């Protein structure tokens, strides 16, 4: 039997998830975008009937309200949206109150998650050598809306935690079209 999926954010990622859902045992039972769910008001018991989990790939300003609404309605969520991390405490509170589950990652790639560990290890090794500093450069497609990306912020967080120093890193961003 298929699990019911809601797609919250029907953009590039939402459409990809919709296409891949059936082969992973999910049936898409609801879809929302910025037009029909501007401030999360379209998320209701009725529209989410039969939904076991919602996948949220929207925009930084939309994520928290969607997370709150899903939690109130008792729907588990997987959130890939970036750029809302400073609101994580509010999201945590909502999810705890709703007794739902939430999985969030700025990047779901297995390779990138291994790279987070590699970077943390490298930062710890370099931390004891004050003659070395670290920089993060980011190059991404020109249509990306949030900058710096959640992935680069997560790398910075890993480096700071492992190196145990603040102000040890400097970040530069290069925006560009990759041909």
Ligand X SMILES: NC(=O)c1ccc[n+]([C@@H]2O[C@H](COP(=O)([O-])OP(=O)(O)OC[C@H]3O[C@@H](n4cnc5c(N)ncnc54)[C@H](OP(=O)(O)O)[C@@H]3O)[C@@H](O)[C@H]2O)c1
Looking only at the bridges linking them, the beta strands covering 76-79 and 102-104 are parallel
Q: At what angle do helices 88-98 and 60-72 cross, to 10 degrees?
A: 20
Give the SS3 label for residue 173.
strand
Cα–Cα distances (Å) from 132 to 2, 3, 98, 115, in that order, read 53, 50, 46, 20
Cβ at position 82, least distance to ligand X in Å: 4
Contacts with ligand X, residue ranges (CB under 6 A): 8-14, 32-35, 37-38, 40, 57-59, 62, 66, 80-83, 105-108, 146
Catalytic positions: 140, 144
Closer by beta carbon to ligand X, 59 or else 122:
59
Cβ at position 47, least distance to ligand X in Å: 12
Closer by beta carbon to ligand X, 39 or else 97:
39
CB neighbour list of residue 94: distance below 8 Å, 6 or more residues apart: 67, 68, 71, 72
Closer by beta carbon to ligand X, 9 or else 98:
9
Give the integer Cα–Cα distance in Å for 168 and 135. 9
Cβ at position 46, least distance to ligand X in Å: 17
């Amino acid at each position: 039997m298929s699990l019911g999926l809601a797609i919250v954010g029907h953009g590039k990622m939402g459409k990809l998830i919709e296409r891949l859902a059936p082969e992973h045992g999910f049936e898409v039972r609801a879809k929302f975008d910025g037009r029909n769910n501007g401030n999360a008001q379209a998320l209701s018991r009725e529209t989410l009937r039969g939904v076991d989990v919602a996948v949220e790939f929207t925009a930084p300003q939309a994520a928290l309200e969607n997370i709150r609404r899903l939690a109130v309605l008792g729907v588990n969520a997987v959130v890939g949206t970036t750029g809302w991390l400073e609101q994580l405490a509010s999201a945590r509170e909502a999810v705890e109150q709703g007794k739902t589950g939430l999985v969030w990652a700025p990047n779901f790639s297995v390779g990138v998650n291994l790279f987070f560990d590699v970077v943390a290890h490298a930062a710890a090794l370099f931390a004891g050598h004050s003659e070395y500093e670290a920089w993060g450069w980011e190059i991404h497609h020109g249509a990306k809306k949030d900058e710096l990306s959640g992935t680069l912020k997560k790398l910075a967080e890993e480096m700071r935690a492992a190196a145990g120093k603040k102000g040890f890193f400097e970040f530069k961003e290069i925006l560009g079209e990759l041909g």
